[in-house]
């Protein structure tokens, strides 16, 4: 997120007259101008928004029923699993449930297209040119051959805004949520953040 | 010169609302009692002819502690700390400059402001207290650093005690906002 939400958020519009009237209602002399008070109010409002926004932790919106695969899972099985569950990425875990990488649609595209920025249309174009289905060449690979590693992860108590910032900066669509010991506990996607009341 | 430099001089906000007649009366009565207590104390010590111990800056403090009780400038920390620190600085400036009043006067006032800021004791009458240490009578000069304790220290203590007793008698007032 390039703009902090608190910077773009306009507080309830309070007029100089509102402040003047409020000051009049309070007995005794207040040695502050309505203009200074307004500045205090606007800044305090931004702090409140920031505090409330940061109070929303990623653990409240993450999916805990995570589909994961192991290093040794054949990519055919990974693809079937992602198709079946209609998900665009899965974490790869070791025998202790520690997240060691992530496989997403993009990793498949890169593998099939032969380079990292592989796009679906590049693959379609190559197929149509008659060079055969590229997928056949990588048929025997395993999850660890395709996965992006090391994975970008976050702790359950990370503020949602921070997770959103990480996604934007790293250009990724999902982040596995792990306990401090590295064990997988959930996953959060861009859609989860969009659906959360944070940005609604 | 950028134009917004001059537009700053127009002022962007407006004057705070006036206070009620009742508030004005309370400010009048409180300051009368506060300054009155100091004047009586001076009368006991010096008699009617000499008002050395009624320091001019006490009048300025009365504006704050009886007329603007909510202001941070009016709180006990500022009232006591601001006066005593400024008094010490004023006496020191007079001694250091050895009678060069043209230098001692600005040095006393400006250093008092800086020190009050740094110690979170900003109290406008403190600037006057520092200046009076330089410009005051021979009797003030003769006191030396004692000036900070008497008349200044004792005087502001009287103002504080009267402010505590008086301001809290009324439903619309409470004092202080904080001590430290």
pLDDT digits (tens, 9 = 90+) for A170-184: 888 899 999 988 899
Residue B70 near chain A (CB below 8 Å) = yes
A16 and A48, same domain (yes or no): yes
What's the rounded Cα separation, in Å, for the pair B42 and B83? 18
CA nearest neighbour of B140 among B176, B74, B66, B87: B87
The answer as to whether B63 is a domain residue is yes
Q: Which residue of B has its CA nearest to A38?
A: B13
Instruction: Tell me the torsion sign for CA atoms A115, A119, A124, A129.
Output: negative
Tell me if A129 is assigned to some domain.
no
- Note whether residue A127 is domain-resident: no
Number of domains in chain A: 2
Token pair of A112 as six digits: 């099939």
pLDDT of residue A155: 93
Distance separating alpha carbons of residues B38 and B42, to the nearest angstrom: 6
The sign one gets for the Cα dihedral B68, B72, B77, B81 is: negative
- CATH number, domain of A176, equals 3.10.580.10
Give a yes or no: residue A83 inside a domain.
Answer: yes
Do A10 and A90 share a domain, yes or no? no
Does B67 reach chain A within 8 Å, measured CB to CB? yes
Q: Is B4 inside a domain boundary? A: no
Does some domain include residue B100? yes
Is the per-residue pLDDT at A140 higher than 60? yes
B120: in domain: yes
Closest to A92 (Cα-Cα) out of A84, A130, A83, A82: A82
The overall pTM is greater than 0.90: no
Alpha helices in chain A (DSSP H): 5-8, 16-25, 34-54, 75-85, 105-113, 120-126, 143-146, 160-170, 190-195
Q: Which of A24, A31, A33 sits opposite B14 (nearest CB)?
A: A33
Q: Are residues A160 and A146 in the same domain?
A: yes
Establish if A155 belongs to a structural domain. Answer: yes
Query: Do A71 and A165 fall within a single domain?
Result: yes
B13 at the A interface (CB within 8 A)? yes
Put simply, the chain B residues between 135 and 174 with a CB less than 8 A from any chain A CB are 172-173
Structural domain including A80 reads 59-110+142-195
Q: For residue A23, list chain B residues with Cβ-Cβ distance below 8 A.
A: 16-17
Same domain, A10 and A105: no
Task: Name B100's Cβ contacts closer than 8 Å, sequence gap at least 6.
Answer: none
- For residue A40, give Cα distances in angstroms to A6, A33, A34, A44, A47: 15, 11, 10, 6, 11
Q: Is residue B5 part of a domain?
A: no
What are the beta bridge partners of residue A187?
A: A63, A176
Q: Nearest by CB to A28, which of B14, B15, B70?
A: B70
Taking the Cβ of residue A17 and every Cβ of chain B, the question of whether any pair is shorter than 8 Å is answered with no
ipTM score of the complex? 0.72
Beta bridge mates, B124: none
> What does the alpha-carbon distance between residue A200 and residue A59 come to, in Å, rounded to a whole number?
18
> Do both A104 and A147 map to the same domain?
yes
Map A29-52 to HEC letters: CCCCCHHHHHHHHHHHHHHHHHHH
pLDDT, tens digit, 9 for 90 and up, residues A66-92? 888 998 888 888 889 999 988 888 999
Q: What is the pLDDT along chain B (180 residues), one digit of tens a residue?
A: 566 888 888 887 888 889 999 999 999 999 999 999 999 999 988 877 777 788 999 999 999 999 999 999 999 999 999 999 999 999 999 999 987 999 999 999 999 999 999 999 999 999 999 999 999 889 999 999 999 998 999 999 999 999 999 999 999 899 999 998
Flag whether A84 is in a domain. yes
Q: Does some domain include residue B177?
A: no
Measured in angstroms, the CA of A11 and the nearest CA of chain B are apart by: 19
Query: Tell me: the pLDDT tens digits for A92-124?
Result: 999 888 999 999 888 888 777 655 555 777 777
Contact criterion met (CB < 8 Å) for B16 and A16 = no
> Is the CB of A200 inside 8 Å of chain B's CB atoms?
no
Residues A171 and A150 in one domain: yes
Contacts across the A-B interface (CB distance below 8 Å)? 50
One domain, residues A101 and A189: yes
Same domain as A104, residue A19: no
Q: Is residue A186 part of a domain?
A: yes
Domain assignment present for residue A130? The answer is no
Say if residue A96 is in the same domain as residue A27.
Answer: no
User: Considering the domain boundaries, does residue B3 fall inside one?
Assistant: no
* Backbone phi, psi, residue B102, to 5°: -60, -30
CA distance A108 to A120: 10
Distances (CA, A) of B70 to A27, A30, B66: 10, 7, 10
Q: Is residue A162 part of a domain?
A: yes
Determine the structural domain holding residue B121 and report its residue range.
21-43+53-167
Distances (CA, A) of A163 to A3, A152, B13, B101: 14, 10, 41, 64
Whether residues A104 and A175 fall in one domain: yes
For B71, which of A24, A31, A33 is closest by C-beta distance? A31
Number of domains in chain B: 1
Residues A146, A82 within the same domain: yes
């Amino acid at each position: 997120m390039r703009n902090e939400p608190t910077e773009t958020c306009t507080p309830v519009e309070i007029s100089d007259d509102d402040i003047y009237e409020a000051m009049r209602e309070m007995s005794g002399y207040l040695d502050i101008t309505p203009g200074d008070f307004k500045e205090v109010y606007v800044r305090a409002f931004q702090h409140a928004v920031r505090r409330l926004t940061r109070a929303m932790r990623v653990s409240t919106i993450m999916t805990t029923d995570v589909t994961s695969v192991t290093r040794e899972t054949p990519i055919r099985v990974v693809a079937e699993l992602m198709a079946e569950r209609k998900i665009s990425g899965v974490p790869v875990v070791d025998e202790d449930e520690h997240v060691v990488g992530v496989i997403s649609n993009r990793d498949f595209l890169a593998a099939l297209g032969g380079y990292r920025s592989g796009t679906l249309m590049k693959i379609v174009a190559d197929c149509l040119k008659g060079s055969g289905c590229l997928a056949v060449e990588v048929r025997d690979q395993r999850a660890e051959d395709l996965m992006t590693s090391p994975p970008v992860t976050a702790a359950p108590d990370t503020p949602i805004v921070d997770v959103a910032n990480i996604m934007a900066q790293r250009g990724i669509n999902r982040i596995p949520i792990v306990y401090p010991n590295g064990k997988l506990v959930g996953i959060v996607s861009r859609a989860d953040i969009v659906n959360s009341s944070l940005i609604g | 010169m950028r134009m917004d430099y001059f537009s700053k001089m127009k002022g962007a906000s407006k004057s705070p609302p006036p206070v009620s007649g009742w508030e004005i009366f309370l400010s009048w009565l409180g300051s009368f009692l506060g300054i009155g207590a100091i004047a009586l104390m001076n009368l006991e010590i010096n008699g009617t002819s000499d008002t050395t111990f009624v320091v001019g800056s006490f009048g300025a403090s009365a504006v704050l502690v009886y007329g603007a009780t909510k202001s941070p400038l009016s709180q006990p920390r500022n009232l006591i700390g601001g006066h005593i620190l400024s008094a010490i600085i004023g006496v020191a400036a007079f001694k250091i400059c050895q009678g060069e009043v043209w230098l001692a006067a600005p040095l006393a006032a400006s250093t008092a402001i800086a020190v009050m800021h740094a110690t979170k004791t900003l109290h406008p009458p403190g600037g006057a207290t520092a200046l009076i240490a330089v410009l005051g009578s021979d009797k003030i000069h003769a006191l030396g650093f004692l000036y900070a304790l008497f008349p200044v220290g004792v005087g502001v203590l009287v103002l504080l005690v009267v402010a505590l007793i008086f301001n809290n008698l009324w439903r619309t007032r409470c004092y202080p906002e904080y001590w430290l």
